[in-house]
Structure 1
């Protein structure tokens, strides 16, 4: 993966958990396997730990950066006037929708949500649900991208009425990837649906094969490597991402028309030769999406807001680390953390919730 993720040290890559590995992530209401009794007024020691980026009792454990995300969001609200939220995620999945709902539930619908987004991708269906959830709680949705909003993050951006993209903002292609584990011993673990779809064209351009006459032979060769139902999984994944993208673009550009929306989706799915291609704000604007540049003050606040996850991408420690965060300016904070690996147990992801009233649940 390009950009910041490529800077991870090999030893951190080994310790880093897959979001679906080990014990399932904990959702609101589930009992924690490691309760952390903390209240916002729980004493100077807890306050010191929190300000230093540590959980109580975890002296020296770097979990979040030193600045308080809520303070940054509060300042962003004073600058822009909307309700500011942060969604920072290594990989978006269904648990982020639950965390976001915990942040939004019980609040009146607002005129505008300003969402600071930083993610390297995630699950298509979960991302669609997150986008629709945000739209249900605001008349207008603005997504502010200081850094990465790739793959599924780009899909989420399509639902915004406006994109505020900083100088370092990069979106990415949305071609779906499907796990190929068990299909090829020496092959990649995940394969893009575009790689499968372009096989006939590659056979014609590289080897001079007549694409129509040799379709049966090409399909036979592919079927020997991939189980036929795996191929249909690629096909369905491609259809699913295109349908979701057209649906979300219609929220941003209702007057674009079906043909215009299909053109944008085709470009995002099939228009780039690498899933890691960095789509700049100039490229996004050329696609016809609504893009603006932040003011210097807005850009500074956006950048600071993404620091917790960005810092963990480049450094971690033996005591665990941060996989994601949902936060607002009023004190709500949900963090997706992972436990430190042990000789008997791999790292395990879990959620911690810090509510304005002081309750902390896992």
Structure 2
């Protein structure tokens, strides 16, 4: 359910998403009772993703948790910045010797990399990991029909080249001369570099708990090149087959995580206030990181204006920020985290 606030500047009422701190804290306490370990929850909406600023927010949470030998880490995300994933794993492993990743739903791409940093992965019946092969949105990427840059994946480029070579008897041109008509050479070069980066990051993350370098290399290459699509769902059976320490999740634990996800999803519902066909206000929560007695989330809070001549949206009056709720001696304190 939306709440509402008044936009004095535009003399209108705007929708604001609910913040369900009490509800999520109750579930976190129940999960910690079942697991006997501290819980760290890392959740992103489909509009959000793994990003560098998450590391700073995560540091705030870990400081509040005070560390123990063991941690359970709930991850739900469609992915994002792979280098941020490496920093997140490093930060967690600096504080905890033994980490169990809890996957109830999607844990894709860069989020899969975060899961690789856990000694043990527990997956529910709807859970999946994905391939981690490279895709990127470059400043020279192709433009779609909304005048926005699109992501290009290494797998897509490789398949084009392979298909070209398989049908070489039908033509004699260099495949790259044709490819470069649609994908800028700098994008192709960046993809090649990014692909090497993905393998390197996977190996480094796995080294936190796997001493067998050959096994770590085999898992890394499998996740980067063995699957027909970037979003290919890797479920429990497949995850075990490539060498990951994966187990089925306890029924009650999975049920609680799905309930926690439902509350986060309610917090992250689209909170868009339309003013006219060219202007609206966006108040959506994108990323949520939470532990016992503390929740930090990133909330969009800005106007959008459509520029017809350029066929693109422009932001105005941007008050988006990281926001923190902390329970101190039974009193909830609200503040903002300022980071650049």
Q: Is TM > 0.5 for Structure 1 vs Structure 2?
A: yes
Match of 2:296 among 334, 337, 345: 334
Please name the residue that 2:9 is paired with.
none
RMSD: 2.9
Residue 341 of structure 1 aligns to a residue in which SS? strand
Unaligned runs of 5+ in 2: 7-12, 274-281, 306-314
Mapped contact 2:140–2:184 kept (Cα < 8 A):
no
Is residue 2:179 matched to residue 1:222?
A: yes
Residue 136 of structure 2 aligns to a residue in which SS? strand
Mapped contact 1:143–1:164 kept (Cα < 8 A):
yes
5 Å-filtered alignment, 1:201-212, equals: 201-205=162-166, 207-209=167-169
Unaligned runs of 5+ in 1: 1-51
5 Å-filtered alignment, 1:161-176, equals: 161-176=119-134
Mapped contact 2:101–2:121 kept (Cα < 8 A):
yes
Is residue 2:89 matched to residue 1:131?
A: yes
Cα distance change on mapping 1:160 and 1:270 into 2, 3 Å: same
Mapped contact 1:335–1:352 kept (Cα < 8 A):
yes
Please name the residue that 1:19 is paired with.
none
Match of 1:345 among 294, 303, 316: 316
Cα distance change on mapping 1:209 and 1:226 into 2, 3 Å: same
Please name the residue that 2:326 is paired with.
355
**Take 2:253 and 2:2, find their aligned partners in 1: how far apart are those partners?**
24
Mapped contact 1:117–1:149 kept (Cα < 8 A):
yes
User: How far 1:342 moved relative to its partner?
Assistant: 5.0
TM-score normalised to the size of structure 2?
A: 0.80
TM-score normalised to the size of structure 1?
A: 0.75
Please name the residue that 2:160 is paired with.
199
**Take 2:125 and 2:320, find their aligned partners in 1: how far apart are those partners?**
32
Residue 70 of structure 2 aligns to a residue in which SS? strand
User: How far 1:261 moved relative to its partner?
Assistant: 2.1
User: How far 1:53 moved relative to its partner?
Assistant: 7.8
**Take 2:68 and 2:187, find their aligned partners in 1: how far apart are those partners?**
44
User: How far 1:225 moved relative to its partner?
Assistant: 3.6
5 Å-filtered alignment, 1:1-362, equals: 61-64=16-19, 68-89=23-44, 90-105=48-63, 107-185=65-143, 189-205=150-166, 207-209=167-169, 217-255=174-212, 257-258=213-214, 260-311=215-266, 316-318=271-273, 320-329=283-292, 331-339=293-301, 341-343=303-305, 345=316, 349-357=320-328, 358-362=332-336
- Which structure has more relative contact order (CA 8 Å, sep 6+)? It is 1
| Greater percentage in strand | 2
Mapped contact 1:200–1:218 kept (Cα < 8 A):
yes
**Take 1:346 and 1:194, find their aligned partners in 2: how far apart are those partners?**
39
Aligned pair count reads 304
Cα distance change on mapping 1:150 and 1:254 into 2, 3 Å: same
Mapped contact 1:173–1:269 kept (Cα < 8 A):
yes
Cα distance change on mapping 1:69 and 1:107 into 2, 3 Å: closer
**Take 1:84 and 1:91, find their aligned partners in 2: how far apart are those partners?**
20
Mapped contact 2:105–2:126 kept (Cα < 8 A):
yes
Cα distance change on mapping 1:209 and 1:243 into 2, 3 Å: farther
User: How far 1:108 moved relative to its partner?
Assistant: 3.7
**Take 2:2 and 2:186, find their aligned partners in 1: how far apart are those partners?**
47
Cα distance change on mapping 1:55 and 1:67 into 2, 3 Å: farther
Cα distance change on mapping 1:132 and 1:209 into 2, 3 Å: farther
**Take 2:189 and 2:83, find their aligned partners in 1: how far apart are those partners?**
18
Residue 189 of structure 1 aligns to a residue in which SS? coil
